[in-house]
Structures are given as structure tokens and as C-alpha cells.
Chains A and B, each alone.
Chain A
Amino acid sequence: MNPGRRAWRPGTWSYRVKVPLLITSISVVTALAISVAIALLARHWLREDLHDHATAVAQSLARGLVVHIARDDVWEAFEAVRAVAAVEGGAPRCDVVVLDRNKLVFVSSDPVRFGLRSPIAVLTEPLRRASLLSARPGNLAVGELREDGDAYAIVGMPLLSADKEVIGTLLMSYSHAIFAERYRDTIVTLTGITAGLVLLLIPFGWWLGHRVANPVARVTDALYRLGEETATRSTAYTAEAAAAPSAPPATASELDRLEHSLALLQEQLDEKEKLQRQFIAADRLAAIGRMTSGVAHEINNPLAGMLNALSNLRRDPTLLPKTVALLERGLEQIRQTLSALLIETKTSHRPLTPSDIEDLRVLVQPQSQHKRVQLVWNYPITGELAVPAAPVRQVVLNLLLNALHAAESRVEFSASTDHGCLTIRVLNDGLEFPRALRDHPFEPGVGTEGTGLGLWASHQLVGSLGGRITLSAGSGRTEFGVELPLHPLPAGALSVPADDELPA
């Protein structure tokens, strides 16, 4: 998978990223949602405030205005409406117009636009609409109006004299623009708070997400390694498992219990692995045992010849040169046999060489001679091969011994390198491999020769080298094939059990 494309598929992301991202996103979205809700509420409250304010102002203004109109005191009325309409030095908050009983302007907050004695026609649309609000005398009517993209709160209030005579009308129009300014301030403050909150929530959410996701990721990593690391026995999980108590407390979370059982699983797998290595080591020695009679024979025959030659020499001292040569040959043969056997019992990390293959031939030669089986050796390889010698020798020796055991008259061995791969084939013409076992020939207990673990051990060893072992049987022949990649795994991965790991 292309890593660039993979980055765009959240389904493939790690929980270490997804969970923090999710928690952070939820926090941020919640903060934003609350802010939006507050903003909407603030808008509503500000509007309510504006209407309440307009009402309160109109009511308090009306009391004084009645007196000023009655006394025809334009100046006092002007000071009253101007004080309401404009903050000192600021923009007008609203337009206030007082009409006299003839519906002419008595006074207004903006005398330049609405001069004294002007008719209603010169007023702005909101004020004209305010004059049309049907309010009962002495009561106030509040309305709302949209005009030229701006919204207005409008107030109309008939002014009554003490004897309930209508002596004028108070009109007010508040542009929502003034509350828009306050709203903007509120939004700016709110945005600041939200931004601060988000800045706090992002790292906190991220940290919290990590805390939640880390155990999951740890368990996942450990499980992943369990499946992957068959060669190198990781202790990734055992380290933490060692710290864990033998049984998790009943109150432990699911993840804690999962971790615990994972640790147990790891322990069992380690145990099994240890056992496997012991079995493989045992099998190696068992194969040597199986060769022992042949090897003994191989030693015994030259010894008998040499003893015979020595007794002939005693009778006829002139035979000395011949006898010495014979003894030399016999001892050389014994030395060769024993050295091949010695190498087999030792473990080493050196690469496979043609001499290892030769050793194998030396080791199985006596067996083949004893059974009068023809050994066909096809081995066109020279030089070192990038596979460890010890496990390959163990596997091939096992297969050869099995083949010799089963063979009628002929065992073929061939080895070749092709496409970075070492291919070894061991073939015999003997008894067919039992049909019932062909589907799972590498399970422990298959076969009666040796420990019954030979094929299983070979399978394990080949697997640990990253290769595969196959069986093909039929029409009077049984063939085992081994394919090993010539790109060896790291040195540690190729280790074979040392002798000290053998069961006591």
C-alpha cells in the first residue's frame, strides 16, 4: 500500500492517533457548539434587553414630556430626549420624536433631520411606523421592523395630560445596529474564551486520548509480535507480565484483564517454544543415534582389516610397508567418519559449505551399504551458501535417514541454487508415505522411526529459516523438497539449541 494514500484512509490509522483525535475533536466541537449556543442566546437576550430598555426609557421619558408639552417648554423637552438618544460624544442610540396634538414635531432628538413643527412625512420609516402603532392612550406599543437590511425596535406612546387628554405622542426607533455592536463585543469575547478553551482542550484531549489508547495499542503490539516473532523470542510482553500479579483483581478493567491473559498466553508460548527447542535438540541427537550402528560398522570394518593385517605382519615381517599403508587407510577412514559425526553433534553459526554436504554423505554411506541401497548424489554447488549450516545439516540428515529407512533400492539427493533459493530434494523408491498422514505429515508423532519428531522438527527448523518443506508422494516414490531463501534472517534468528538446553 502506498503510504501516502494510506494516510488518507482513517480506517487504517492507529488508535494512538484515532482516539486522541476523536476525543480532541469531540471536545473542540462541544466547545464550539456551546459557544454558538451562547452566541444565539446572547443575541436573544440583547434583543430582549433592547426592547425592555426602549420600554423603560419611553415610560420614564413620557412623564417629563407631558409637563414640558403642557408648558410649551421646547428646551427642557429637547434636553430630555437628547439625553436619552445620545451618549455624550457617541453615536445616537436611537431616534426620539415627540409629536404635539396636531401631529407636528414638538421636539426631536435630531432637530436637523426632524425640525420643530415638521409633519410626520419627514420622519424615517421606522418612526412613521411607530406613529401607526395602535396603542391605547397612556399605554405603550412596542414593535419590530425590518428596513433596508437593518432591524429596528419601535415604540409608540400617546402622551396623556393629568385629565387623560392626549396632548402628544412619543415615538422612538432603536436601530438594532447599536445592539449589533454590543453583540460583536460579546462575540469577540466569546471567541476569545472559546479559542483559549480549544487551545487547552486540544493538548488535554490529546493526552487523555493517549491514556485511553495506549493500553489498547500495547496489547495490539504485543499480539502482533506474538504472531510475527516465532524465531526471535520477544520478551515484549513478558516484561510487563512479570510485573503483573498472578491474577488481576476483580475490579480490574477489561483492558487490564486482557493484558493479564495476554501475559499468560505469552508465558505459555514461551514454554512451548522452549519445549520445541528441546525437542529439536533431542531429535538431532536421536538422528545421530540412528546412525550409530552404521557408523560403528564403518569403524569396525577397518579395525577388523587392520587387526588382520597386523596378525599377517607378525607372521611375515616383509609385509611391513603394505601393512603400514593399510593401517593408514583404515585409520584415515575412521578419522573421516568420526569427524563427520563430531561436527553433527556440535552447533555453530557458520554458513553451509559443500563439505557439510560431503559429511552427510559420509554419515549415511554405511547405512546405504548395509541396506544395499543405491545412493545417488547430485550436488553441483561450490562455495559457501548464505544459510546456517547446523539446522540445514540436521534437516537433511533427518530426511536422508528417513529415506534410507523407507527405500527399496535407491535414494536420490540433489541440491541446487536458483533465484536466490536453495532447493534440496530427497527422494526414495520405497514404501509410499501413508496416505492418511499426507495432509499433515509434519505433525509430531508421524512415522515410527526415531523419536517420531523428526519431520516435525525439520518443519520447525525450515520454518525458522523462512523456508518451506513439502512432501509429494505417489507411484512408488516419496519426495521431500526443502526450499530455503538465501537471504538469511538475522544471526540471532538462526540460532539452534545449544547442548546445554537438552533435558537433563
Chain B
Amino acid sequence: MLTKPPPNRRALLRAGLAACATSLGVPALGQRAASAASGLRFGTTPVFLDDQVGFLARWSTYLSAAVGRPVEFVSRRSYRDIMGLLRTQEIEAAWICGFPWVMNQAQLRGLSIPLYQDRPLYQSYLIVPADDTRSTTLADLRGKVFAYSDPDSNSGYLVPRTTLMKAGIDPDRHFARSFYTWGHRNVVSAVAAGLAQGGAVDGYVWDTLQAVAPALISRTRVAWRSETYGFPPLAVRATLDTDTEQRLRGALLRMAEDTSGRLLLGELNLSGFGRFHPEAFASIAQLATMIGARAT
């Protein structure tokens, strides 16, 4: 939990005087002061391997230097938790999924779309235990136990459900039981352990785990790959000042240009961070409409 250092008296006095001088400047001044004091808080979600504390510390050091402000990462269990923190302005930026992006566009500004194999695209994988050599579609898993990643995940929830719906299958009745694992890596674990006979997982995460945890990956098999979707984007809350936004975007986009940045990108298994363009998520928005999701 972050604790804000108490603002010193002189700063409070100055803020008070400024409030008297111009009623418009108050919220902007107050926010800027708080941000400057506590640094830039960056929320992470299981869209990438966010449980690697050592990596996050190195990335934090790199970004702090590049942005000129301390950048700290904030991890939460679910996408929803991170979205909540953005909404309550407890964090300034976050790496979220395309699905929450399309649902919460009004409160966010797009920062960057990561480039995976030089493209801002990824797929959803249907994985099954390695000893299941027959299943090739979601339809084959009828009456089985299925693991979703997160109810707000595109690849781990929206894609498999809409795929079933397009095939005329009710996803709520198709499986004997389904559950959320609150993370793509956990979906792989659940399928590898035999807890679920199928799971929907972010293809980029599964590919990356092949290098990080080959033993775990070897116990699963990719049964089906979806079409491509916009890669989970990075976004800032709409209330963040554009100066900070620009500096953060600049830092991210220039990562591929220096050695330490490239090293970090290598660890992320990404080619770089690209410009944000909202049309990349149009297909996800269609899927969201299909399941009748409403902005939260």
C-alpha cells in the first residue's frame, strides 16, 4: 500500500494562496503536487509475466531514468482491480488488456501498443493437457472442466466464449464446470496439473513461457489458435497530464533504441513498444458487443 508523504506546510500554504488567486487551478495543482511526490505508479496485470519481481525492479529503474520521475509498478490480482485503481486515480498508468480498453475507453488514453514479433497483434490459444491428442476445437471439450484466465481478459475469456457462441453453443452449458485462474500462467498450470481439461490463454504468454518454464509448457498442447487481435495495450488514466503522458510514451517507444532497453524488451519477449491506434481493438469491441458487455 502506498502512503503519501505529508505535504510540508510551505507547499500547503502555496496551494492555498493559489486556490485564492484562481479557483480553476486548484485540482490541477493539487494533482500535480501529489504525482510529483509519489512518482509515477504503473499498474501491471497478468497480460505478461508480471510476477517477476526482479525484472520489474530493473524496468522500474530504467523507466525512472528515462521519464525523469520515479516509476513504480503496482501489481494486483485481477484486471478489475487494476481498472479500479485507474478509476480511483491511485495509479497513473497500466498495462491492460484490449477488452478492458474497449470497455473503459472514456476514462483512459491509449499510451502504446507493444510489438510482438514486430506486430501489434497476438492470438488466443486453446490449450489442453499434452496427453489429450484428439481435441482441436472448443466444441470438443463438451462436458469437460474449462479454465478461463480472467473475466476481463480478451484472449482468456472473450475469445473462447464468443467462438462458442458463433458456433451456436451456449458457453455456460457447454462445460461441466469452468473457473477463473486470475492469470494466463495459472491457466497453463491448471491444464498442466489436470485440474482443467482445457483453458484459454494469451498466446504471447504461452509462447514466452516456453523459454521460461519449458517443463510446465511441455505438459500442455495448443489445440487451437484464434485469429489475431490487438495486443494488450498500455494506457493512462484520462486525468493524467499530457506532459507526463508524453514523457512516459517517449520512454517506452525509445526502449528499442538503447542496449539496456533492448535487454528488458528481450526479457519481455517483445520487439518494442509502438504507437497507440484505437482501431487495433475494433475486432475486440465487436466481440464485446456480442456477449453484451457494458462499460463498467
Quick check: is B194 within 8 A (CB to CB) of the other chain?
Answer: yes
* Contact of B179 with A72 in the complex, beta carbons under 8 Å: yes
Contact B177 A116 (CB under 8 A): yes
Residues of B within 8 Å of A107, CB to CB, are: 195
Q: Contacts A75-B147, A116-B145: A111 and B195 contacting too (C-beta < 8 A)?
A: yes
**Which B residues are CB-close (under 8 A) to A110?**
194
Task: Count chain B CB atoms within 10 A of each CB in A73, A74, A75, A107 and give the residue with the most.
Answer: A75
Tell me which residues across on chain B come within 8 A of A82, comparing CB atoms.
Answer: 193
A72 to B176, CA, bound (A): 14
Q: Which residues of A contact B176 (CB under 8 A)?
A: 116-117
What CA separation (Å) do A116 and B179 show in the bound complex? 11
B193 cross-chain contacts in A, Cβ below 8 A: 78, 82, 111-112
Q: How far is the CB of A65 from chain B (nearest CB, A)?
A: 15
- For the complex, what is the distance from the CA of A111 to the CA of B196, rounded to whole Å? 8
Give the CA-CA distance A485 to B177 in the complex, in Å: 114
Residues of A within 8 A of B182 (CB): 75
Q: How far is the CB of B21 from chain A (nearest CB, A)?
A: 51
Residue of B145, B177, B179 touching A73 (CB-CB under 8 A): B179
User: Does the CB pair B180–A75 fall under 8 Å?
Assistant: yes
Known: A75-B186, A111-B193, A111-B194. A117 touches B179 (CB 8 A): no
Which residues of A sit under 8 angstroms from B147, Cβ to Cβ? 75
Q: Are A78 and B190 in contact (CB under 8 A)?
A: yes
CA distance A72 to B148 in the complex (A): 14
CB distance from B127 to the nearest CB of A (A): 15
Residue of B nearest to A106 (CB): B177
A210-243 residues with Cβ-Cβ distance < 8 A to B are none
User: B181: CB under 8 A from chain A?
Assistant: yes
Contacts of A116 in B (CB 8 A): 145, 176-177, 195
| A78–B195 alpha-carbon span in the complex (Å) | 8
Residues of chain A lying within 8 A (CB to CB) of residue B196: 111
CB distance from A192 to the nearest CB of B (A): 36
Q: How far is the CA of A282 from the CA of B248 in the complex (A)?
A: 136
Chain A, residues 312-344, CB within 8 Å of chain B (1/0): the string is 000000000000000000000000000000000
Tell me which residues across on chain A come within 8 A of B186, comparing CB atoms: 75
A441 within 8 A of B: no
The answer, yes or no, to whether A115 is at the interface (CB within 8 Å) is: yes
- Chain B contact-residue range equals 10 to 19
The answer for the CA separation of A110 and B194 in the assembled complex, in Å, is: 8
B190 and A112 contact, CB distance less than 8 A:
no
B29 to chain A, nearest CB (A): 42
Q: How far is the CB of A379 from chain B (nearest CB, A)?
A: 115
Nearest-neighbour CB distance to chain A for B200, whole angstroms, equals 14
CA distance A490 to B162 in the complex (A): 122
Determine the distance from Cα of A117 to Cα of B182 in the docked complex, in whole angstroms.
21
Q: In the bound complex, what is the Cα–Cα distance between A78 and B177 (angstroms)?
A: 14
The interface residues of chain B lying within 8 Å CB-to-CB of A115 are 145, 194
Q: How distant is the Cα of A117 from the Cα of B181 in the complex, in angstroms?
A: 17
Q: How far is the CA of A72 from the CA of B180 in the complex (A)?
A: 10
B177 cross-chain contacts in A, Cβ below 8 A: 74, 116-117
- A74's nearest neighbour on chain B, judged by CB, is B179
Whole-angstrom distance between the alpha carbons of A78 and B190 in the complex? 9
Interface members, chain B 171-223 (any A CB < 8 Å): 176-177, 179-182, 186, 190, 193-196
Interface contact A75-B179, CB-CB below 8 Å: yes
Q: Complex Cα distance A78/B186, Å?
A: 11
CA distance A117 to B179 in the complex (A): 13
**Complex: A116 Cα to B147 Cα, angstroms:** 12
A268 vs B194: C-alpha distance when bound (angstroms): 100
Q: Which residues of B contact A117 (CB under 8 A)?
A: 145, 176-177
* Max count, chain B CB within 10 A of own CB: residue among A82, A110, A115: A115
**A103 → B minimal CB distance (Å):** 15
Q: How far is the CB of A419 from chain B (nearest CB, A)?
A: 99
Closest beta carbon of chain A to B177's beta carbon, Å: 5
User: In the complex, A74→B180 CA distance in Å?
Assistant: 8
Note all chain B residues with C-beta closer than 8 A to A72. Answer: 179
* A76 → B minimal CB distance (Å): 8
A248 CB to nearest chain B CB (Å): 83
Separation of A75 and B196 alpha carbons in the complex (Å): 10
Tell me the nearest residue of chain B to A110, going by C-beta: B194
* 8 Å CB interface, A58-81 against B: 72-75, 78
Closest CB in chain A relative to B145 CB, distance in Å: 5
CA distance A252 to B100 in the complex (A): 101
Query: Can you give 9 A-B contacts (C-beta < 8 A)?
Result: A74-B195, A75-B186, A75-B190, A82-B193, A110-B194, A112-B193, A112-B194, A115-B194, A117-B145
In the A-B complex, the 4 residue pairs with the smallest Cβ-Cβ separation, listed nearest first, are: A74-B179, A112-B194, A111-B195, A75-B181
Contacts beyond the supplied A107-B195, A111-B195: 15 A-B pairs with Cβ under 8 Å:
A73-B180, A74-B179, A75-B147, A75-B180, A75-B186, A75-B190, A78-B190, A111-B193, A111-B196, A112-B194, A115-B145, A116-B177, A116-B195, A117-B145, A117-B176
